[in-house]
A and B are shown apart, each in its own frame.
Chain A
């Protein structure tokens, strides 16, 4: 298990400052949520911390070590990411086998067949799915493949960028259950972006509310139900979600 700590992360694209300066810590084994409206910089934090974007300043530490000091091999084995849209994040002409074996080849890891079979087992897919292509899979199955791809290098930290928002509620439940089970079994640290506070409440221990690149407030999960936020925007966001959820 490794902790994540984001230290004065700041990025601008041209004249627009997307993240003025963001700092937060996630304990090892914790599930930490990032919420806020679209454009508030939630996904940008994940993209920066995973070095998909590298023109930022400040630092991101995984288990105490800066992502900038890690080579790409080491970084990929420390953290992996699951993206929002399983229709867009899998290559349409790569089979599941190609998707899962490529990281193993790059990292020179042996017994690939066993590892791939294990990864499929972990995400609850039948072993014979290995030769399927994305168009032969449903949305939920694709997201499982995307999660298997993230698991195959046995990372410590998983960044989840809206992992269920493109899925139906019934399928979302399966993926949430899967993510919760994996965290229990493998002790992952999760940083999860979501716009759905019900999902955050279900999965996360703490979460940060973001607005135009700033963290407005960091709250424990328990603060959602009674709307105990103190910052005005956080109260508004939680209030809106509660109204939306109230009839349930």
Chain B
């Protein structure tokens, strides 16, 4: 593997006022690949994403190493972070309904992402934004440029967010549940577009999701998190050979098309999972 884009070692994080840390001793490296982080709600997967972007200034964060290319994320000043965030690493959020500014035109919001990081004229930014909207397969991008967020569908809103986040050619994209607000039919389209762009441009992708099928189909490697800890790391195509009982339990609990309709196995949580060593 080439030099990693992202290197994290023993990341722990505790929210102010919480008795237990939300994330404990998480370590991983990311090259030009697609890494999935899966787990249930409250397992700390989104917190990891936010910690990487340094979006949690109040939280008590510690790590041995947290490095993004040449930037030491543990020591970078907020000033440095402003240059990194949105330009070299960006984040796609879950729901376009809540993540786009409802009173500004979609196109202006996309162009703004560019103008924030690149010195250029408004016309250049507009041209860039329209080209990017085209790249996320929005038909008639010039018309959509003028739309307000309430005038676009969920799938299109999410594509606009992807356009916004990829416009500055980042090296790392963190996608936090990018498609869970979308319908199945649209979900695949949006994932395909994101996937194509990420591969074409050689971007490192961290895909945070609760959906095992999604990470299995759209990631190379998967971290499985439970109660703030990485319990297992697997190649996505080897998910079936998971050894940790938690991963196996999650897989078994999913109803399947064409299944035998017997009672679904229910996860039996073992307190030892909170302390046991990582399988890999």
Contacts and interface: CB of A to CB of B under 8 A. Distances in A.
B255 A176 contact: yes
B183 A244 contact: no
Contacts of B266: 170, 173-174, 177
Interface in A59-78: none
Interface stretch (A14-22, A105-113, A126-134, A191-199): A191-199
Contact of A201 (B188, B213, B214, B258): B258
Contacts of B256: 198, 201-202, 245, 248
Interface in A191-248: 195-199, 201-203, 224-225, 236-237, 240-248
Contact of A170 (B183, B250, B261): B250
Interface string A158-189: 00000000001111111011001100000000
Nearest to B268: A170
Interface in B204-252: 210, 212-214, 216-217, 249-251
B275 interface: no
B118 interface: no
Contacts of A53: none
Contacts of B253: 169-170, 172-173
A220 B187 CA distance: 25
A225 B255 contact: no
B267 A173 contact: yes
A248 B254 contact: yes
A170 B40 contact: yes
Nearest to B264: A173
Nearest to B260: A202
B1 interface: no
B186 interface: yes
Contacts of B257: 197-198, 201, 224-225, 241-242, 245
B213 A224 contact: no
Contacts of B154: 38
Contacts of A247: 213, 216-217
A180 B256 CA distance: 15
A198 B255 contact: yes
Interface string B8-20: 0000000000000
A86 interface: no
Contacts of A197: 184, 257
Interface residues of B, number: 31
Nearest to B265: A173
B263 interface: yes
B280 interface: no
B25 to A, nearest CB: 23
Given A169-B212, A177-B264, A202-B261, A195 B255 contact: no
A242 B257 CA distance: 8
A198 B213 CA distance: 12
B198 to A, nearest CB: 19
Contacts of A33: none
A70 B49 CA distance: 53
A37 interface: yes
B259 A237 contact: no
Contacts of A180: 263
A177 B250 CA distance: 15
B77 interface: no
Contacts of A202: 255-256, 259, 261, 264
A224 B267 CA distance: 27
B185 interface: yes
B159 to A, nearest CB: 16
15 contacts: A37-B183, A168-B210, A169-B40, A169-B210, A170-B267, A173-B264, A177-B264, A197-B184, A197-B257, A202-B259, A203-B255, A237-B184, A240-B188, A244-B213, A248-B212
Given A174-B266, A240-B184, 9 more contacts: A168-B41, A170-B253, A170-B266, A177-B264, A196-B184, A198-B257, A202-B261, A237-B184, A248-B212
Interface of B: 40-41, 154, 183-188, 210, 212-214, 216-217, 249-251, 253-259, 261, 263-267
